[in-house]
Amino acid sequence: MTRLLIVTAVEAEAAAVRTGVLASGVDPATVDVIPVGVGPAAAAAGTARLLALAEAGGAAYRAVISAGIAGGFPGRAEVGATVLGARTIAADLGAESPEGFLPVDRLGFGSNLLEADPALLKTLTTALPHAIVGDILTLSTVTGTAGTAAALLTRHPDAVAEAMEGYGVACAAQAAGVPCGELRTVSNPIGPRDRAAWRLREAFSALTEATAAACG
Radius of gyration of the chain (CA): 16
User: Distance of CA 130 to CAs 24, 125, 127, Å?
Assistant: 18, 8, 9
How far apart are the C-alpha atoms of 181 and 139, rounded to whole Å? 17
Sheet strands (E) in 1-129: 3-8, 31-35, 61-72, 82-90, 94-95, 102-103, 113-115
Residue 83: predicted pLDDT: 98
Residue 110: predicted pLDDT: 80
Q: Which helix (H) or strand (E) holds 18?
A: helix 11-24
CB within 8 Å of 130: residues ≥ 6 apart: 82
The three-state secondary structure class of 121 is helix
Q: Which residues of the chain have pLDDT under 50?
A: none
The residue segments making up the domain with residue 28 are 3-215
User: Distance of CA 110 to CAs 7, 74, 94, 210, Å?
Assistant: 25, 31, 10, 33
* CATH code for the domain in which residue 67 is found: 3.40.50.1580
Amino acid letter, residue 121: L
Amino acid letter, residue 195: R
Domain count along the chain? 1
Residue 137: predicted pLDDT: 98
How far apart are the C-alpha atoms of 153 and 145, rounded to whole Å? 13
What pLDDT digit, counting tens, does each position of 144-202 carry?
999 999 999 999 999 999 999 999 999 999 999 999 999 999 999 998 877 777 899 99
How far apart are the C-alpha atoms of 89 and 139, rounded to whole Å? 9
How far apart are the C-alpha atoms of 194 and 81, rounded to whole Å? 18
Residue 1: predicted pLDDT: 57
